[in-house]
A and B are shown apart, each in its own frame.
Chain A
């Protein structure tokens, strides 16, 4: 029971990161029907941006007890801004010219962008692992039994709370603001939305910006959790987040979060109870099984075939 509780906490932490990335996939897929393969690499890029800003900020204000939190908040906003700028540019350069082209064109462009970003970071930052000193290490012990003690570390609290707060903000933007309304309209019918006076291009750009901002949050959290980032780190979390988006029903925002949490939990539980070697295989097998038996995911709308 204690082991389960501990793994539940670990799984939720990892799942929050996957969920944040998954939203970027699901939003872009919802609005332009494209699998944004470069999104995992945008996440990796954001972790690098966060790393650099973290070092700059801590060099200025020091690494005192409260200062780390302050630094993290500053880094979070800076990383969100600059990652958004990157994703905005990527959309502008690589995807917008292909709007209205045939289905595979943007996909190939995205794969090309993904290769480009991975190697770009490798060239400008070097191929080695980059690590920051561990931060927020102390933890709170929740249950202290004789054999196993369940604890939650400060960084896990930070990650789960930040994710929850940002998802709340994001939910409000999509559901309650004119911007979110425009986004949902474009998702349903882009041409009609355009006829009704919505600037479709601008809405799509903003979708990419929002996806990147959430990926940047995930990047900062990833850095806080593991303290290490490498140029090749974008692919596996990217594919898993995408799995999460599909699992939750692609196009559905709450679905992406639920999918992310599920994938995180499955991965952690599998590592704890079975063998750690096959945790990725487990995640992919679940994806295959879900798609075969429930192609629209948990919360997705079934696709209506029009003749």
Chain B
């Protein structure tokens, strides 16, 4: 055995090791910074590219990494000594919360229903618009998309990287049918869903016999094909310019305008754009809850159980006589249908759509919400959507940072940068997603939560 080292000497050795690691990390950072940060490129007045040296930024980056890595190394050493480390949440918090999931669902639902009232009370009539529109409606759209994709990825285990295609199908079906045929939102909403589901079936049929990553790539390709067709088929979709002036939804025939037959006038209220936003908020809330309800119910039906069985083991499913193609196809087209609903809502809310809204990054963000939330968990999806979308929206609000970093500091520039970085960090922190345990739908005597380690991911 090694001779026991005296405590100060050991501490000093630890310190040296941490310093060494920090120095190494700082050196790497310096290397990374050399070309891309140290010189900024800029067009000068003659439109010739010139380089601006920015060594002060490099120095800051290196210093931050050095200190950060040093503190992390010290913390890890303490962890190695067996001391308790500071946890952000006590162990098993999520599991305990899940034990009261019904209570939490009710509280959450109550909050969502009263959210516009809370926003108006806290921010006043003028300030509430931003909160309900940018936060409420925006987050709920992503929650709904996440829950829709959850059927495909979380329940059936089919990796779909082109989900945004069905969102686009829904949006364009509403926009084109409403503009050209004057049909109302409430007729077109189910129609957009049906059309998206039809496309899901059409695209799904040839490709669903592929497995895992191959399926992911083909769905990515289809997503891009639909977008590129929308870009290039100008007669049909208006190309890059998109479609504007899409009819807005009405309250059972009463439009939200300042006119005499408008919503405010009919109900004897003072006109405010807020009414439309609140109405849209409740529409998307109902749509999202419909998605959640259908998902929860379907999980208890034979087809839902077949999905989950398929996710766990496709070969076993086949040998038990489950028609895997049909099962996958139902999941794919149901997911697509909810994407279509969300799409037509999106078109109705914006009044303007263009292919720019349906790029691959959207698919990636929706998939990230599903995976970060913990695949198959509705709660997880909702939390992840709130954190990721709400978090990036919050970054728009950080104008006060200008006081610290100077007037030309623009926090919105860093929005997506932080978004991407947060995705990596959450994945490393919780690779199985925020809520990783699964509640079984089939059990003999009592429900037992399934630990994350026992849940196998889908193969195809």
Contact = CB atoms under 8 A, between A and B. Distances in A.
B216 A97 contact: no
Contacts of A112: 368, 419-424, 427
B34 interface: yes
B49 A108 contact: no
Given A98-B428, A111-B364, A280-B224, A242 B36 contact: no
A125 interface: yes
A291 B420 contact: no
A229 to B, nearest CB: 10
B99 interface: no
B224 A52 contact: no
B35 interface: yes
B375 A104 contact: yes
Contact of A105 (B31, B213, B225, B371): B371
Interface string A92-105: 01100110011111
B118 to A, nearest CB: 32
A295 B214 CA distance: 8
Contacts of B431: 98, 101-102, 105
Interface string B32-50: 1011110111110000010
Contacts of B427: 94, 98, 105-106, 108-109, 112
A292 B35 contact: no
Contacts of B228: 278, 280-281, 284
B28 A85 contact: yes
A115 interface: yes
B71 interface: no
Interface string B170-184: 000000000000000
Nearest to A110: B424
Interface string A190-226: 0000000000000000000000000000000000000
B423 A109 contact: yes
A49 B35 contact: yes
Interface in A113-145: 113-126, 128, 130-132
A278 B232 contact: yes
Contact of B41 (A37, A125, A291): A125
Contacts of B364: 37, 111, 114-115
A106 B420 CA distance: 13
Given A105-B371, A111-B368, A51 B213 contact: no
B221 A102 contact: no
B233 to A, nearest CB: 9
B229 interface: yes
Interface in B332-381: 360-361, 364, 367-368, 371-372, 375
A123 B414 contact: yes
Interface residues of B, number: 57
Contact of B428 (A97, A104, A305): A97
Interface stretch (B204-212, B260-268, B276-284, B293-301): B204-212
Contact of A124 (B37, B49, B375): B37
A48 interface: yes
Contacts of B432: 101-102, 105
A170 interface: no
Contacts of B216: 35
Interface string B122-157: 000000000000000000000000000000000000
A270 interface: no
B32 A86 contact: yes
A307 B36 CA distance: 49
A37 B49 CA distance: 30
A109 B216 CA distance: 16
SS class, residues of chain A in contact with chain B = helix
Nearest to A245: B217
B310 to A, nearest CB: 15
B16 interface: no
A49 B232 contact: no
B442 interface: no
A231 to B, nearest CB: 11
Given A103-B457, A108-B372, A280-B228, A85 B31 contact: yes
Contacts of B222: 284, 288
Interface string A165-187: 00000000000000000000000
A56 interface: yes
A89 B31 CA distance: 10
Contacts of B371: 104-105, 108
Of B41, B417, B420, B424, the most chain A CB neighbours within 10 A belong to B424
B117 interface: no
A267 B213 CA distance: 24
A291 B419 contact: no
B225 A285 contact: yes
Contacts of A299: none
A77 interface: no
Given A85-B28, A108-B368, A115-B420, A52 B414 contact: no
A298 to B, nearest CB: 14
A13 interface: no
A291 B35 contact: no
A189 interface: no
Interface in B2-41: 28, 31-32, 34-37, 39-41
B221 A284 contact: yes
B41 A51 contact: yes
Contacts of B421: 112, 116
Contacts of A287: 217-218, 221
A45 interface: yes
Contacts of A35: 213, 216-217
Nearest to B28: A89
A108 B373 CA distance: 12
B188 interface: no
A113 B232 contact: no
Q: Which 9 A-B pairs have the closest CB atoms?
A: A112-B423, A115-B420, A116-B420, A119-B417, A101-B431, A284-B221, A277-B232, A105-B431, A112-B424
11 contacts: A35-B217, A37-B364, A56-B51, A86-B32, A97-B428, A116-B423, A116-B424, A124-B40, A242-B217, A246-B217, A278-B232
Given A112-B423, A124-B40, 4 more contacts: A101-B432, A102-B432, A112-B427, A115-B420
